[in-house]
Amino acid sequence: MSLRIDKLLANMGYGTRKEVKKLLKSGVVKVDDIIVKDPKTQVNPKEQVVTVWGEEVEYKEFIYLMMNKPPGVISATEDMVEETVVDLLEEEDRVFAPFPVGRLDKDTEGLLLLTNDGQLAHQLLSPKKHVPKTYFAVIDGEVTEEDVAAFRRGIVLDDGYETKPAELVILKAGLRSDVEVTITEGKFHQVKRMFQAVGKRVVYLKRIQMGPLSLDPSLEPGEYRELTEEEIDMLKQPQTY
Ligand code: URA
């Protein structure tokens, strides 16, 4: 696999194509210890060593980010009005053009994966794969064992759709209840509509798990980090749920 040196450097965050051209012209870019000035030079980043100001450029094609999505931002790449999760990324990560894998509502918090690996995104989102997603939720109303049983059977939503069985765990029951709910689909506003169907309202929602991936508790809302090699391998392995 080879690509133009200007494209590689632009992809890696060394500036726009025009800025990169200047950088090349200034003679600070080397490929295998030889100064390269022509932006059209083809390089193979897997086999050749590219340096800028003597520092090695570590090339990667894909990026995998785990974000603790804060409330108030939308799960999109760009929007004319609203702030998006991609707006929260550093420029050096944004150059990879990652997109959110699935959506969380604007007011929902928690685990959101962003990547430019379309194949992995597809695998995680495919309805056929039944990837489980677990949410912590605060419910206005007392969640009961009947609700647990109803969720286990599947819930008929406001549009007549019957959900797949969902696991509901009551952490604290009261006028306000704390629960964890695991669903294997991703219908629009699904968790909120499931509770609505049993006469209750979700007042706080946070995703804590997606397939084998758990939200890193050290991430504050709005913070993100790259996935570890282990986490990436886990996600890519064919799962049986
Ligand atoms: N279910 C919802 O209702 N909202 C979300 O953001 C995710 C799941």
What pLDDT sits at residue 138? 98
Extract the tokens encoding 143: 């969640």
Residue nearest to atom 7 of ligand 1 (CA): 104
What pLDDT sits at residue 2? 83
Q: What are the structural domains of the chain? A: 3-56 (3.10.290.10), 64-127+213-236 (3.30.70.580), 132-210 (3.30.70.1560)
Mean pLDDT by 10 residues, the chain (241 residues): 88 89 97 97 92 92 96 96 96 88 97 97 91 97 98 98 98 97 96 98 98 97 96 87 66
Is residue 182 within 8 A of residue 148, CB to CB? The reply is no
- pTM, two decimals, is 0.85
What residues are in contact with ligand 1 under a 6 Å CB criterion? Answer: 104-105, 108, 189-192, 205
Cα 107 to chain centroid distance, Å, stands at 16
Nearest to 43 by CA among 96, 80, 1: 1
What pLDDT sits at residue 125? 92
Extract the tokens encoding 238: 């064919």
**168 CB-near residues (< 8 Å, 6+ apart):** 143, 147, 148, 151, 152, 179, 180, 181
Extract the tokens encoding 94: 């944004």
Q: Which DSSP state fits 86?
A: G
- Residue 106 Cα to ligand 1 midpoint, Å, equals 9
Q: Among this protein's residues, is 105 annotated catalytic?
A: yes
What pLDDT sits at residue 240? 66
| CA gap 61, 77 in Å, rounded | 19
What pLDDT sits at residue 168? 98
How many separate helices (H) and strands (E) can be counted in the chain? 7, 15
